[in-house]
A and B are shown apart, each in its own frame.
Chain A
Amino acid sequence: MKVGRFFRTPKGLLILALGALVVVAAVGTGVALVTPGVLAAIATAMLVDAPLIRWRRGRWHVPDGALLSGLIVAMILSPHQPWYVASVTSALAILSKYPLRVRTANIFNPAAFALVASFYIFHTGQSWWGALPELSPFALILLVATGAFITHRVNKVPVVLAFLGSYYTLITLAAFVGNPAHVAELYRAPDLHAALFFAFFMVTDPPTSPPKHRDQLIYGTIAGVTSYATFALAGVVYFLLAGLLVSNVWEAWRRNAGRTRIRQLGTTR
């Protein structure tokens, strides 16, 4: 595929969007601080994925999905981590795609899976610096604009609305029922930026999220409810990612149930 044509595909557009965000975020966070992690994560992800794709498909392909996974991992991990932590985390992301599959797609969002694993292996912090939390409020407009564009292009608007709707509904209820101070930060930077980045660029991941709008509503709601529940009950730094992993499991179950139904129909005819 020609380069120009590739960058008009959803994956190509996502690479451009995240690339733009990472450049702007790097300027705000510190280019020297974030560059080792970004390069290590992307290079490792692509180097690990390339031979695996060759083995599976029989010929070489540019591992563009790995580039995205590496980029997302680097944009979420704290830039204060050593570069090898980003490297190992992105390798985990790629390796998680192959053994854990239902039908033709991986079960878990690779970046989310690896970041949670990395928390337990390296005790990593997650700063979500790629979501532009350290820049002026105008940066939020850039984040929302790129996110909304990509979401529309991959036809995942319902999943984003379902996630944000359920997540903020529960937080707002908690603010009225309990102490508002407990959830005040979730409405503001950096948590707001993290939630938006997560909704636009991770919950919408095409291989791990459902294509039909009705299923997207369920999927997004599961992600929102479990994210909030993880925050409220466990208080762990990866509460958003935990919500996504739970909804990934639901989607895998749905896909598997659909395949079983098709098989049963085939045998009765």
Chain B
Amino acid sequence: MPPKDHPTTSHLVALGTAAVLAVYGVGFVRTQAAAARLDGEKPRRRPPAPVAVAQHSADVSISAPATAEAITKGAPAAGQALKVKPEPKGDAASAMSGAERPKITALASAIGDTATKAPADTTRTFPDLKDGVYTGWGTSRHGDIEARVEIRNGRIFSASIAQCLTMYSVYWIAALPPQVVKRQSPEVDFISGATESTNAFYDGVVEALKKAK
């Protein structure tokens, strides 16, 4: 049983509560504009991909890195609307910038090293893409992701996650890079529970492909 509240104790509790609320209130107001900006970005739609969605003409097995418990949805046909499962809001998120968020480099490099190298659609080429290795950043309220794509002979030869600065383990989205190569497109499946990270990876690939043009 708690001790009977002494008047002084009650006053201290009231004072302490008021102080916490005041500090919280000041911080809340101070960050309101930034939060509104982030909220505005939240329900964004995917921008049109710079590379057309390729037809799945061949079913080539690609050695994907460990996908952990990521639950990927079935691959949609070209142009078919993706079923999006909303990401649970509860994932403790932050809005730390890519520059300041510590890098999960070990995990990211693990994924990067095992990035798929096998092109799936051997017929599809994009002559406007220049050969080379390109990177692009995608952002989300859970942190930023740097995607890397390698273009060879007008095709996406490999894709990987160069840096994963999200508050999740990179393994949650490890299934995505092989899909980019397989589909010759940044259109990847959404992963349940990691929708925003999926979007960030998509944006990163889109940006990288823009650089390749």
Contact = CB atoms under 8 A, between A and B. Distances in A.
Interface in B49-101: 68-69, 71, 88-97, 100-101
Interface of A: 29, 78-82, 85, 119, 122-129, 131, 133-134, 152-155, 157-158, 161, 164-165, 168-169, 171-172, 175-176, 179-191, 193-194, 231, 233-237, 239-240
Given A169-B23, A181-B97, A185-B35, A123 B172 contact: yes
Contacts of B20: 161, 164-165, 168
A175 B94 contact: no
A152 B94 CA distance: 31
Which secondary structure dominates where chain B touches chain A?
loop
Interface in B16-74: 16-17, 19-20, 23-24, 26-28, 30-35, 37-38, 68-69, 71
Nearest to A194: B92
A190 B95 contact: no
A124 B29 CA distance: 33
The interface size bin for chain B is 35 or more
Contact of B89 (A158, A164, A189): A189
A80 B37 contact: no
Which secondary structure dominates where chain A touches chain B?
helix
Nearest to A182: B96
A133 B172 CA distance: 22
Contact of B94 (A29, A123, A235): A235
B67 to A, nearest CB: 10
Contact of B171 (A123, A127, A184): A123
A176 B35 CA distance: 14
B132 interface: no
Residue with the greatest number of chain B CB neighbours at <10 A, chosen from A79, A176, A185, A231: A185
Contacts of B96: 182, 235
Contact of A183 (B17, B27, B68): B27
Contacts of A237: 91-92, 167-168
Contacts of A122: 68-69
Nearest to B102: A235
A41 to B, nearest CB: 16
Given A179-B34, A181-B95, A233 B102 contact: yes
19 contacts: A78-B88, A80-B193, A122-B69, A157-B13, A161-B16, A161-B20, A168-B23, A168-B27, A172-B23, A179-B34, A181-B31, A183-B94, A185-B38, A187-B24, A187-B31, A190-B91, A194-B90, A235-B96, A235-B102
Nearest to A175: B30
Given A152-B2, A161-B20, 17 more contacts: A80-B69, A80-B193, A119-B169, A125-B194, A127-B92, A133-B90, A134-B90, A161-B16, A161-B17, A168-B24, A181-B97, A182-B96, A184-B31, A185-B94, A235-B101, A235-B167, A237-B167
A157 B11 CA distance: 12
Which 7 A-B pairs rank lowest in CB-CB distance, beginning with the nearest?
A127-B90, A123-B169, A172-B27, A80-B193, A181-B34, A184-B31, A161-B16
A240 B35 contact: no
Given A161-B17, A165-B16, A184-B34, A126 B27 contact: no
Contacts of A154: 2
A165 B12 CA distance: 13
Contacts of A29: 88, 90
Interface string B96-111: 1100111000000000
A85 B69 contact: yes
Contacts of B169: 119, 123-125
A190 B142 CA distance: 12
A125 B193 contact: yes
B88 A183 contact: no
